[in-house]
Structure formats: structure tokens, C-alpha cells
């Protein structure tokens, strides 16, 4: 078996949310495996990992001009992207649907859904030009099952799941693959925020979320990054429109 860590050598990859916990682990692993990586995140968020093959860019994924400009700059600097990883996302406030506000709704849909769509919209023409590309969209276990605490988040992640399948259908003919990835509860800031916001308290929240999983623990960011690496690499060349669930078995039971 070949263990040379160059599974995406020579490819240009964009990772949004690249300064977040899962985005930064993904950016670092893609860079380690030979990709030239553009880490895109909102201005002001400090860079998380430094690697000679990771270049930082500011973007607001909810703003089309910002997205277009960032992708233009990345393409000029590193070449048109072969890989797009849409990891930018927010969870929003906890609470039932009737307690949420219109600004809550607009913000979470703008970041989690419009952001994925805008990035796709502006990256795909370059991929069509190359006749190849791999897009990996971050959904969640919350895009597969419902739940009481964050209904709008579930709604956005469900939308990302089906945008991915629909784009897979539309772009397969151009050699572009689109897949979604569905992390379970991860050891990240986002999950700690949800635990703190939960009305049952962090300890009971974690117990409820992972306590009865086949693998009863939270996942670590690298365990997601390896899934992205597979979908980004040519090893997954026959995989499109699929959903890669990495959740310790949460959705299996």
C-alpha cells in the first residue's frame, strides 16, 4: 500500500470557514497531502493553522461581490480551484421555531445555505473549464434527522444535503462531483456553544447526544478532515451525490 501523503498533490483547494475548528483541520490535512490551499473566512478571525501551502483570504460568504472577488484572487494566486470545501457555517440561537426571529432566520440561511450556493456558483465555471472538480459541502447529522433545540439549523443543513445532490446531478456531465459530509457531535467550539445554550445543561446535553452512540464519544476534527480528503481526492472518482456520515453511529440507531 502507498502511504505517501500526497493524495491531492498539485490540486488547488478552497476551504471556507478555514479558520474554524473543522475547516482549519481540513485545510491543514489537504495541505499536508500536497494541495495548494486557500483558507477563506470572515475578516478579523485569526488564522488557525500555519502551513507553507495555506494562504489566507477574507470573505463573507453571504455577499456575492465578496465571494466573486475572493475566488478571483485565489484563481490568480493559486490557479482555478479543483476542490471546494464549504465548511463555513453558524448554528444560531437555540429555541423552538416560534421563538426565533426573522433576523435569526435570515442570518442562518444566508450563511449556511446562500453561502454554499454562492461559493458553488462562482467556483463551478472554472471547474467546467477544467472538466473536473470536487465540491464537498458541510451538512450535519442535523441535516438527516430532526431535533428540538435548533430547528432552523436543521432546516439549513437539510437544504445543503439536497443542494449537494441536485448539483451532483447537474454537474456530473462536466466531471464535477458534489458530495455532502455529515459530522456528528464534534469536539469543537460550535458544539461547546450548543452545549452551553442547551436548557438541560452541558453534561446532560453531551450524554443525550453521544452517550448511547455505538461509539459513545465526540469526534475529533481530524476524523472529519480525513473524510473530506477522501471526497476531495481522485480516490472517490466514482462518488457523487453521496452523503458521508461521520458520527460515531449516531444516525445508525
Ligand X SMILES: NC(=O)c1ccc[n+]([C@@H]2O[C@H](COP(=O)([O-])OP(=O)(O)OC[C@H]3O[C@@H](n4cnc5c(N)ncnc54)[C@H](O)[C@@H]3O)[C@@H](O)[C@H]2O)c1
- The three cell numbers of residue 33 are 497531502
Contact between 227 and ligand X by CB under 6 A: the answer reads no
- The three cell numbers of residue 101 are 426571529
**Which of 166, 164, 172, 84 has the alpha carbon at shortest distance from 131?**
172
Residue 153 appears among annotated catalytic residues: yes
Q: How many residues bind ligand X (CB under 6 A)?
A: 29
Neighbours of 224 (CB within 10 A): 27
Interface with ligand X (CB under 6 A), residue from 8, 12, 21, 120: 21
Interface with ligand X (CB under 6 A), residue from 164, 179, 191, 198: 191
Kindly tell me which of 119 and 176 has the beta carbon lying closer to ligand X.
Answer: 119
CA angle 31, 80, 172 (to 5 degrees): 95
Neighbours of 64 (CB within 10 A): 14
Interface with ligand X (CB under 6 A), residue from 12, 39, 62, 164: 62
Contact between 61 and ligand X by CB under 6 A: the answer reads yes
Binding letters toward ligand X, positions 159-188, x by CB under 6 A: ------------------------x-xx-x
Dist CA 40 CA 160 (whole Å): 19
Neighbours of 53 (CB within 10 A): 16
Catalytic site residues?
153
Residues at the site binding ligand X, with contacts judged by CB under 6 A: 16-17, 19-23, 41-42, 45, 59-62, 87-90, 111, 115, 138, 140, 183, 185-186, 188-191
Amino acid at each position: 500500500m502507498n502511504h505517501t501523503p500526497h493524495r491531492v498533490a498539485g490540486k488547488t483547494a478552497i476551504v471556507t470557514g478555514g479558520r474554524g475548528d473543522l475547516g482549519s483541520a481540513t485545510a491543514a490535512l489537504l495541505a499536508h497531502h500536497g494541495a495548494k490551499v486557500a483558507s477563506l473566512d470572515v475578516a478579523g478571525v485569526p488564522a488557525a493553522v500555519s502551513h507553507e501551502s495555506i494562504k489566507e483570504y477574507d470573505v463573507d460568504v453571504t455577499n456575492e461581490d465578496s465571494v466573486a472577488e475572493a475566488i478571483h484572487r485565489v484563481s490568480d494566486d493559486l490557479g482555478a480551484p479543483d476542490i471546494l470545501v464549504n465548511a463555513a457555517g453558524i448554528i444560531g440561537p437555540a429555541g423552538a421555531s416560534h421563538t426565533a426571529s426573522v433576523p435569526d432566520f435570515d442570518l442562518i440561511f444566508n450563511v449556511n445555505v446562500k453561502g454554499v450556493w454562492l461559493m458553488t456558483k462562482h467556483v463551478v465555471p472554472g471547474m467546467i473549464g477544467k472538466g473536473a472538480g470536487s465540491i464537498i459541502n458541510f451538512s450535519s447529522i442535523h441535516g438527516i434527522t430532526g431535533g428540538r433545540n435548533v430547528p432552523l439549523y436543521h432546516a439549513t443543513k437539510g437544504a445543503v444535503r439536497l443542494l449537494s445532490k441536485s448539483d451532483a446531478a447537474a454537474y456530473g456531465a462536466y466531471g464535477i462531483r458534489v458530495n455532502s459530509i455529515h459530522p456528528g457531535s464534534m469536539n469543537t467550539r460550535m458544539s461547546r456553544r450548543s452545549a452551553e445554550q442547551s436548557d438541560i445543561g452541558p453534561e446532560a446535553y453531551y450524554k443525550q447526544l453521544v452517550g448511547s452512540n455505538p461509539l459513545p464519544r465526540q469526534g475529533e476534527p481530524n476524523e472529519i478532515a480525513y473524510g473530506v480528503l477522501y471526497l476531495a481526492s481522485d480516490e472517490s472518482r466514482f462518488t457523487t451525490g453521496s452523503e458521508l456520515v461521520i458520527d460515531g453511529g449516531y444516525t445508525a440507531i
